[in-house]
Structure 1
Amino acid sequence: MIRKNINSSSIFSLGYDSENKMLEIQFDSGEIYRHLNVPERVYEKMLDSEFVGYYINYNIRNNYPCVKVR
């Protein structure tokens, strides 16, 4: 999975696996969370968002199953 560095106050990078519809979020703290069944269009909208952290909080966090990777 290729990650993109993000210009955010709390998010370090994002990665997306389109084949498995899996989104990985790495926070500045080093924690990594993997969200499952995230449609590619949702990932693309997130990247286009002016406030990625806000988008994650309101559109990803409670809407897609999540596991903590690290």
Structure 2
Amino acid sequence: MPRYRYEEIADDLEDKIRSGVYPPGSRLPSRRDLVDAYSVTEPVIDKSMMILRVKGLTETLPGVGVFVREPA
């Protein structure tokens, strides 16, 4: 079954979080950097970030960035 690009990006970022590429407390790349890295638009990255937030993997500090949450 085809998957949306934002789902693929969320899965890729989740894999990087779980494997330690982005350890707890670290800041994820900026939206602009992710747009460039994945060659997509900002709304696609926003949906990917929403998935990670809903899964409890990240938290957003407005004006600062998106950070990997400490494990519960």
* Structure with greater proportional helix content: 2
TM-score using structure 2 length: 0.30
Structure with bigger RCO (C-alpha 8 Å, 6+ apart): 2
TM-score using structure 1 length: 0.30
Higher Cα radius of gyration: 2
